[in-house]
Structure 1
Amino acid sequence: MSNEILFFGGFLLFIMLMLAIDLGLFSKGNKAVSFTKAAIMSTVWVSFALGFYVVLRVWGDELHDIQDFARLVEVTEKHLHNIRLIPGDFAASLELYKRNLALEYITGYVVEYALSVDNIFVMVLIFSSFGVPAEYYHKVLVWGIIGAIVLRFLFIFIGAALISEFEWILYLFGLFLVYTGIMMFVHRNQEEEIDPKNHKVVKFASKYFSVYPNFVGSKFFHNENGKKYVTPLFLVLLVIEFTDLIFAVDSIPAIFAVTKDPYIVFFSNIFAILGLRSMFFLLVNIIHKFHYLKTGLSFLLVFIGAKMLLHHWLAGWGFTTSHSLIVIVSILAISVIASLIFPKKTKPADL
């Protein structure tokens, strides 16, 4: 069995174990998740993500079974790693590779985690529009994340296969991200609205399923008089999944701007998604305070798209993954600090 399968299989087993523990220990009783519990879980998931950085930094060569200099050159060229190997010095070159691999992972993680914040804005809107009781948020998000993992897996490895076969797709991704960033900036101050009855996902589901008119506790399905119904909570889950699908169209190309290794894209993506749930409960009541975050995310997408379009020139100029991480963190830090220093002015109440 190859090292790639063992490494990837071990990662999936760890993720499934953590989700099973989460479902078993934290979903009982359908209680609303407190700020304290959300802070603890956020810390746990971020710690796991940082711990995986250490795993890649120390054992990253095991992922692609790099045993000699020829294999190192092959992997580096295949995944377009922006590093200069040292001919004749396998040990030093391997250290460069592992350092860069871990850095690509953590940069992709930061990008995905940041873009997930925009997803939280929409999730808050979905829950409030459908009138979902707070105690059911956790169950919907857990099952939503399980679906997101499957979708991301398909998106990432199909995308990697296309990039490997047609490198020019990177330029399409870059143009798309620049366009998305510009449109996000243009519409950053628009109030988003969701009409539950006329949402396209609700209309589609209502066409093929019998929908029960009311919530039935935390159930997704309900039997009555021998007939099976889907509940409004199941419709909310479908809307959440559809929303994540839309966000994946932005976030996955964004991480391919950081690394072309599909495993690193997947690892960084999944850790960010797993931390999204706890981050949702951490930010749900204060996210409106970060009103410049959408502006920051728009600049972030434009930067990443431009990096994709100019990646050959940037590599020639010595622009490394470290520089990308500095720019990304700086954009996010400025948008958060600006939101806190210059709070959004509230409209005076009508007398």
Structure 2
Amino acid sequence: MDVSLPVWILTGVVIVGLIFFDFFAHVRTPHEPTFRESAWWSAVYIALAVVFGIGVGIAAGWDLGTEYFAGYVTEKSLSVDNLFVFLIIMTRFAVPRAYQQKVLLVGVAIALVLRTVFILVGAAAIEQWSWVFYVFGAYLVYTGWSLAREHATEPDENAGNGLLVRWVRRALPTTDEYHGDRLSVRIDGRRVLTPMLLVMVAIGSTDILFALDSIPAIYGLTEEPYIVFTANAFALLGLRQLYFLIGGLLERLVYLSQGLAVILGFIGIKLVLHALHTNEVAFINGGEHVEWAPEIPIWLSLTVILGTLAVATVASLVKTRREDKTPVLTD
């Protein structure tokens, strides 16, 4: 896929423009969005992502279009898992609901910058060293195994209290009180940072860990940096609305971690098979390609991803509904 520099620039301008639109249209005036508002704008961003994917399919072929949709669905599902951590961080910092939109939007902006760096580094590494697919594949299989062993809704005691946040607290004067949505205030003649800035630092720094999973995962579905970038961007753009839309549903998705574990493990195996098929590592098969290693088609990848998410969601809702109906015995 040969994407010209003007197309890259135009895409970047559109993405940044959507973030600014989101800020001035919804976030600038602090308020807690209603369910209707969140549902409407979530649908708008999903529609934009779908229209863009159709455009990719028409302009560049449906092989690349399918790669985009597989990448978008994967990144969107991983972003839902990220919302658990965001919820914990918001709770830990006791962020008022009216100000949570601003925190999330800034977090999305930070995430886009960080992931763009990871995407460029990943593309350069893949171009230079084919063995990187072995590393990505092994890492995703390990991550999937680790994720399957934990429960998505179990709070992380360290969430919101990472190294960067602790360093900021020690190095700079801070206050524990919110002053509207301001990032800093002057108290007794001294400029101090508010918890609003600290929670933004916490969410932004946490996204570095999220990128370590999501970028290798989508490179397992496509090697086109443009598709990797746009799939990530569209998945993140609606994250703020999704947070408020499914906030009450998050605790019901009890099998989401297991579903994502299957997806990451599947993509990891796909990457290893691809690495074997294009092998150039000297101590594996004498540096020759392993001909028996199958290439998993993108349509099968998309089917597995959608099917796994559907099963995990339905199983989660069935389980929580049964638990709600189970009478509680008291002495």
With the length of structure 2 as denominator, give the TM-score of the two structures: 0.89
| Residue in 2 that maps onto 1:200 | 163
1:21 counterpart = 2:10: no
Which 5+ residue runs of structure 2 have no aligned equivalent?
278-289
Q: Deviations over 1:264-301 (max 9, x none)?
A: 11110111011211111111111111111111011111
In 1, Cα distance between the equivalents of 2:6 and 2:58?
16
Moved over 6 A (4+): 313-316
1:126 counterpart = 2:89: yes
Identity of aligned residues (%): 34
| Residue in 2 that maps onto 1:30 | 30
Of the candidates 299, 321, 324, which is equivalent to residue 322 of structure 1?
299
| Residue in 1 that maps onto 2:219 | 256
| Residue in 2 that maps onto 1:77 | none
Paired letter, 1:54? I
- How many residues are treated as equivalent by the alignment? 313
| Residue in 1 that maps onto 2:257 | 294
Which 5+ residue runs of structure 1 have no aligned equivalent?
61-97
In 2, Cα distance between the equivalents of 1:175 and 1:49?
30
Cα–Cα, structure 1 residues 16 and 321, in superposed 2: closer, same or farther, change >3 Å?
same
Paired letter, 2:264? L
In 2, Cα distance between the equivalents of 1:31 and 1:260?
41
Of the candidates 148, 156, 159, which is equivalent to residue 185 of structure 1?
148
| Residue in 1 that maps onto 2:229 | 266
Q: CA RMSD in A?
A: 2.1
Question: Is contact 1:184-1:295 (8 Å) kept?
Answer: yes
In 2, Cα distance between the equivalents of 1:190 and 1:9?
39
Of the candidates 327, 331, 347, which is equivalent to residue 308 of structure 2?
331
With the length of structure 1 as denominator, give the TM-score of the two structures: 0.84
| Residue in 2 that maps onto 1:52 | 52
Q: Which moved more, 1:224-233 or 1:156-165?
A: 224-233
Task: Please report how far the alpha carbon of residue 202 of structure 1 lies from its aligned counterpart in structure 2 after TM superposition.
Answer: 2.5
- For the residue of structure 2 that corresponds to 1:228, the secondary structure is strand
| Residue in 2 that maps onto 1:345 | 323
Task: Please report how far the alpha carbon of residue 49 of structure 1 lies from its aligned counterpart in structure 2 after TM superposition.
Answer: 0.4
Question: Is contact 2:270-2:295 (8 Å) kept?
Answer: no
Cα–Cα, structure 1 residues 197 and 14, in superposed 2: closer, same or farther, change >3 Å?
closer
Task: Please report how far the alpha carbon of residue 129 of structure 1 lies from its aligned counterpart in structure 2 after TM superposition.
Answer: 1.4
Cα–Cα, structure 1 residues 189 and 276, in superposed 2: closer, same or farther, change >3 Å?
closer
Paired letter, 1:22? D
In 1, Cα distance between the equivalents of 2:107 and 2:194?
16
Paired letter, 2:310? A
